[in-house]
Amino acid sequence: MFLDYFALGLLIFVALVIFYGIIVIHDIPYEIARDREHPHQDAIHYAGWVSLFTLHAIWPFLWIWATLWRKERGWGFKRLEEEQHDIHHRVDELIDQVSQLQKEVAELKQQSYSSSTIQPQFDRNEEEQ
């Protein structure tokens, strides 16, 4: 009789350990996100609970999502942002250069047009005489 109660107690203990063990394992991505001060901590935590009901299908993706963020470098795109800022600055300079060149071309066309309209009139006058 003692062994029956002992076996029952052991089964309950093992069931509880497995139950809470699965919950603790599914909280690992949230713990990682919390330690890294991830901006999506709550979403990762809720998705971990959803993963329990989706047969753990999204749990590896939560782990990856939680480990991608680092407080000191964010998502790791700072270098890309700096390059993009440099490119935007260069594009602004090029736009200024193009507008300056357009003004110069317009002035040259105006000078060319004014000199060509004056010149043929003199030529026509000379031809008429």
> Exposed, middle or buried, 31 (CB in 10 Å: 0-12/13-18/19+)?
middle
Task: Please report, for the chain, the start and end positions of each structural domain, with discontinuous segments joined by +.
Answer: 1-76, 77-129
Cβ atoms of 39 and 73 within 8 Å: the answer is no
- Tens of each residue's pLDDT in the chain, 129 residues: 999 999 999 999 999 999 999 989 999 999 999 999 999 999 999 999 999 888 889 999 999 999 998 887 777 777 777 888 889 999 999 999 999 999 999 999 998 888 876 555 555 555 555
Centroid of chain to Cα 51: 25
Buried b (16+ CB within 10 A) or exposed e, 51-61: beeeeeeebee
pTM of the model: 0.55
